[in-house]
């Protein structure tokens, strides 16, 4: 699978030859999170070229980790792939606990952030109707400044990067670093509002429940535990 080889019989070395090529673990993170279509996988790894994404998927398929479904239009983890779930989760937990959050917050990506927010948003605290939340990143170029989260009554969440034409229930305004810190669990909505780094305008009920419906990173609890210990 890789151009080079460790030339060791050790299972760690053999597994590393498959899993430790550039982008492979990050791609596995997307597959574990439930992305199956090529375009959805691209949104989860926006800085990975389509050609490299295709190559890595083919390599994972050859390794028996991924299989094609739905006429070849979808990618699903095999039994071997699903067994990698705790490995991917352990990578994330280790990174959250031991990599400096200042270093993490230097790696900002608006596209990835809003895609993750869409995927983990919890519609339960929201009113039982269509709710539209406009995110505005004040420090980003115009093309990347706005994203709309459209939450339907059935709980389905859509992400739009152009105005979907619906009335906005809540305007959320902050710089990208602040919103990323909240999403990662390094900061709270309340603290960001108090410091005037986050501005919420619109439906007061939706605004008051933002910490609940935001649906933080699955690794955020480890950041909160670290903060409490400190």
- What's the pTM value of the predicted model, to 2 decimals? 0.82
Contact 56, 62 (CB under 8 A): no
| Domain co-membership, 178 together with 140 | yes
On the CB side of 145, how many CA atoms lie within 13 Å of its CA?
8
Same domain, yes or no: 57 and 116:
no
CATH number at residue 124: 3.30.1050.10
pLDDT, mean of residues 54-80:
94
The residue behind tokens 């439930």 is: 34
Cα–Cα nearest to 217, from 140, 118, 127, 148: 118
The pLDDT mean for the chain works out to 91
Name the residue with tokens 């895609």: 115
Backbone angles phi, psi at 145, to 5 degrees: -80, -30
What is the DSSP-derived secondary structure letter of residue 143? G
CB 121 within 8 A of CB 155: no
Residue-wise pLDDT tens digits, 140-163:
999 889 999 999 999 999 999 999
Specify whether 57 is located in the same domain as 24: yes
Same domain, 83 and 114: no
What range defines the domain where residue 190 resides? 109-229
- Indicate if the pLDDT at residue 190 is higher than 70: yes
Number of separate domains in the chain: 2
Same domain, 89 and 194: no
Residue 5 lies in a domain: no
Q: Are residues 47 and 144 in the same domain?
A: no
With b for 16 or more beta-carbon neighbours within 10 A and e for fewer, the 56-91 pattern comes to: bbebbeebebbeeeeeeeebebeeebeebeeebeeb
127 shares its domain with 37: no
pLDDT in tens, 76-111: 999 999 999 999 999 999 988 888 877 778 878 999
Q: Is the distance from CB of 144 to CB of 109 less than 8 angstroms?
A: no
Asked if residue 48 is part of any domain, the answer here is yes
């Amino acid at each position: 699978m890789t151009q080079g080889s460790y030339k060791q019989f050790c299972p760690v070395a053999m597994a590393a030859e498959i899993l430790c090529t550039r982008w492979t673990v990050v791609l596995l993170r997307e597959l574990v999170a439930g992305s199956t279509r090529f375009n959805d996988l691209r949104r989860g790894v926006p800085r990975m070229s389509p050609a490299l994404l295709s190559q890595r998927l083919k390599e994972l398929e050859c390794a028996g980790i991924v299989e094609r479904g739905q006429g070849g239009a979808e990618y699903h983890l095999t039994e071997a792939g699903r067994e990698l779930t705790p490995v991917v989760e352990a990578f994330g937990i280790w990174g959250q606990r031991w990599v400096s959050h200042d270093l993490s917050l230097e790696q900002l990506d608006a596209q990835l952030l809003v895609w993750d927010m869409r995927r983990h948003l919890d519609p339960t605290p929201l009113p039982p109707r269509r709710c539209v939340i406009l995110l505005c990143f004040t420090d980003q170029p115009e093309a990347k400044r706005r994203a709309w989260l459209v939450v339907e009554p059935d709980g389905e969440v859509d992400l739009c990067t152009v105005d979907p034409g619906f009335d906005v229930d809540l305007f959320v305004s902050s710089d990208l670093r602040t919103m990323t810190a909240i999403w990662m669990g390094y900061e709270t909505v309340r603290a960001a509002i108090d410091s005037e780094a986050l501005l919420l305008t619109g439906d007061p009920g939706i605004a008051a429940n933002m910490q609940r419906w935001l649906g933080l990173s699955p690794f955020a609890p480890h950041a909160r535990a670290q903060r409490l210990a400190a």
